[in-house]
Amino acid sequence: MLIPRPWRLAWLAASLLLNAEVCEAALDLHGFVQGNYGLDTASANPDGRDSKLAEERIQLKLEADQGPLRLFVKTDLAWDHLDDQEDLELREGTIDYTAAAWDCKIGRQMVTWGLGDLVFINDVFPKDYEAFFRGQPLEYMKKGVDGVKVGLYPDFASFEIIAIPLFTANHFPDAKRFWLYDPMPGVSTRRTIEPGASLDNTEVAGRIYRDIAGFDASLYGYRGFFRQPAMQPEPAAAPARLTLWYPELAVYGASLQGSALHGVISLEAGYYDSRDDGDGDDPMIPNRQARFLVGYQRQFWEDFTVGLQYYGERMLDYGNYAATLPPGMPAEDRLHDLISVRLTQLLRHQTVKLSLFTFRGLASGDYLVNPEVKYNFTDQVWGALGANIFGGGEPWSQFGQLDRNDSIYLQVRYEF
Amino acid sequence: MKRLILLMLFLVIGPVARALAASPDEIIQKSQAAFFYPGADFKARVMMKLISPGGQERVREMTMLRLNTGEAGGEQKYFMYFFQPAEVKDMTFMVFKYPAKDDDRWLFVPAINMVRRIAMQDKQASFVGSDFTYEDVSGRDLGDDVHELAREEVLNGRECFVVKSTPKADSAGYGSKLSWIDKASFLPLQEEYHDRAGSTVRVFTADEVKEVKGFPTITKRTMKNLQSGHRTEVSYVSQDYNVGLEDSLFSERFLRQPPKKWIE
């Protein structure tokens, strides 16, 4: 009898675990079983199906430690009914060492920096936007990075430095499942080139943080690549082929967060240095940008919280961009800005959570609305029912292009 | 020598004089010191059961660490690590408590490795969905209420002061509170929260008191909501004082990766 490969791996992992459990006491196993389903409400997918999500998933989290050493493995096995395939994914897998004034973490790890709620300036780490747009739990919007992180903790400030030798791109919605704006629909020959693993291509990110007068202050730096690909049509005059590639990027930023105005104020900014387009005269590569965020969060009454954000991206070489943009390509505005509102109400001893999240582009007029109801049936079982509604703006705007992709989703999870 | 005599006089007369002429404010001040501030620091493994009127139980299990950074009634730092339920396992929560202004609160969400400040100005909001409020866990500012000695009586064989505390501001979630404060330990053995019409809304009872390193400690307690019938039972699985918590523990670094020796 042939056993599918993921099953064999799962069996192997389980038997290793059981053996390990016998001889090692400091071992901890947790995880969940989850069903996650979506239903299109605006139109069927480009591939004709009426769902962008139908899967069951098991996650196992294994933790073991011995003195200052700790092993952590988080792995997912998913059954995707749309593509009819199993998918084994190592979400995180790290070994870390902790000393009094420093620590070190090696392996696939989740890194979350910055203060934005679903907008990212100094969180330069990979995201999975498809996971979010099709209704997976929020944690699936973050992807791990493969690298080494060192933390240093002298008295005057804390330091984190990460070296990432293996590039991970953002995951964007799949054109089979999502209706998306395509600037060159006629060019079907496409290839993607990712930065190869080499010393030159190793991404480096750093953060320094400390308390300043009761505010949490951070400085950030990053040298690596855009995680959203740029398009290079070839030949430029009458494109027959498209190359998707990842231009070089450096980011320098800062953030500040603290209590003020009976709530929490967040300020964050970053300078995006597009190193392959220093003068901004290549419209196929992102222009240099200033990105900024102002956030305010406040609890108005028991278990009811409001979060507001203003977020902007401003092109710094707009003149050169506009002058070199080929005719027929939609021109982006110099300033792309949006506001977001998040309302959260907890009820019935915090077992019911009603939430509403919305984005609205200020100049572009596009929007995203994400209402959700979550209920914890017991301490082990919860279910969430929500929707993603897109629209407004031009057909190439961030959320406007997703107009036909509205869906409702269901998440049910048993945690152990 | 003169000083020594004065000191001895004070030591002898002090307790007598205090018992004779304890003002309601002093009783509450001492009660808060005995309830929320004993020791330089405190560590407890806490089991919390949320019990619905129908009998359905939900469990919140955590380690709670407290460090006094000021004197009794002053600033404190709290660190909580959650074991149960599974959904919040490895979550940590940190509070810097300030008597005269809004607390600072941080939450660590392990699923996305994120540390965030959270806005939670309402100290009378429910603590993790239980019948206890944040104030019930970490104390209420002495000056927020007018305190008066209602009477003295024996409760379950213990001599108690019964103090009525009426919030000065209308923003409080209740009209007044009646506290039965043990004359010996100054721990509250029972509290009744009344609404503005005078009917009892919530009742707190100290169900077990143990002496830990010389500090009388409530190791089992219940808060019952009489209107909804919901109640929360809290018991300490283990507890200890003066364990040597350091200020550096209360940091983003350890929120993300709490040291085993402090949370187990």
The pLDDT of residue B28 is above 50? yes
Contact B132, B232 (CB under 8 A): yes
Which class is domain A58-336?
mainly beta
Separation CA A81–CA A50 (nearest Å): 13
- The tens digit of pLDDT for each residue in A292-340 reads 999 999 999 999 999 999 999 999 999 999 999 988 888 899 999 999 9
Q: Which residues of A touch B259 (CB under 8 A)?
A: 98
Is any Cβ of chain B less than 8 angstroms from the Cβ of A263?
Answer: yes
The pLDDT of residue B10 is above 80? no
Q: Which residues of A touch B112 (CB under 8 A)?
A: 110, 112, 138-139, 141-142
Separation CA B246–CA A100 (nearest Å): 12
DSSP letters spanning A337-391: EEEEEEEEEEETTTTEEEEEEEEEETTT--EEEEEEEEEESSSSEEEEEEEEEEE
DSSP letters spanning A61-98: EEEEEETTEEEEEEEEEEEETTTTEEEEEEEEEEEEEE
Is any Cβ of chain B less than 8 angstroms from the Cβ of A415?
Answer: yes
Interface contacts (A, B; CB < 8 Å): 96
| Residue among A299, A349, A379 minimizing CB distance to B85 | A379
Nearest CA in chain A to B124: A302
Is any Cβ of chain B less than 8 angstroms from the Cβ of A257?
Answer: yes
**Domain map of chain A by residue range?**
58-336
Query: Distance (Å) from the C-alpha of residue A200 to the closest C-alpha of chain B?
Result: 28
pLDDT number for residue A186: 85
**Residue A364 φ/ψ, nearest 5 degrees:** -80, -25
pLDDT number for residue A114: 97
Separation CA B243–CA A336 (nearest Å): 53
Q: Which residues of A touch B119 (CB under 8 A)?
A: 263-264, 297-299, 305
CB B122 to CB A301 under 8 A? Answer: yes
- Mean of pLDDT values over B175-179: 96
Contact A381, A34 (CB under 8 A): no
Over the range A235-244, which residues count as b (16 or more CB within 10 Å of their CB) and which as e? eeeebeebbe
Q: CA of A412: how far to CAs of A87, A93, A376, A399, A408, in Å?
A: 19, 25, 10, 27, 14
* The two structure tokens encoding residue A165: 């030798």
The 10 Å Cβ neighbour count of residue B73 is: 18
Which amino acid belongs to residue A91? R
| Residue among B118, B119, B253 minimizing CB distance to A153 | B253
Along chain A (416 residues), what's the average pLDDT of each consecutive run of 10 residues?
Answer: 49 52 69 98 96 98 94 97 95 96 97 97 98 97 97 97 97 95 88 94 98 96 97 85 96 97 96 95 94 97 96 96 88 95 96 98 96 98 98 95 97 97
| Residue among A111, A158, A299 minimizing CB distance to B122 | A299
Among left, alpha and beta (phi > 0; psi -120 to 50; other), residue A200 is alpha
- The tens digit of pLDDT for each residue in A179-210 reads 999 888 888 899 999 999 999 999 999 999 99
Which amino acid belongs to residue A266? S
CB A379 to CB B58 under 8 A? Answer: yes
CB B86 to CB A378 under 8 A? Answer: no
If one looks up domain B24-263 in CATH, what number appears? 2.50.20.10
- The tens digit of pLDDT for each residue in B219-258 reads 999 999 999 999 999 999 999 999 999 999 999 999 999 9
The pLDDT of residue B88 is above 80? yes
Contact A234, A241 (CB under 8 A): yes
- The tens digit of pLDDT for each residue in B160-172 reads 999 999 999 877 7
pLDDT number for residue B101: 84
Query: Distance (Å) from the C-alpha of residue B124 to the closest C-alpha of chain A?
Result: 8
CB B125 to CB A299 under 8 A? Answer: yes
Burial of B250 (0-12, 13-18, 19+ CB in 10 A): buried
**Mean of all residue pLDDT scores within chain B:** 91
Share of chain B above pLDDT 70, in %: 92
Separation CA A147–CA A162 (nearest Å): 7
Q: Which of A123-137, A249-263, B15-29, B99-113 has the lowest average pLDDT?
A: B15-29
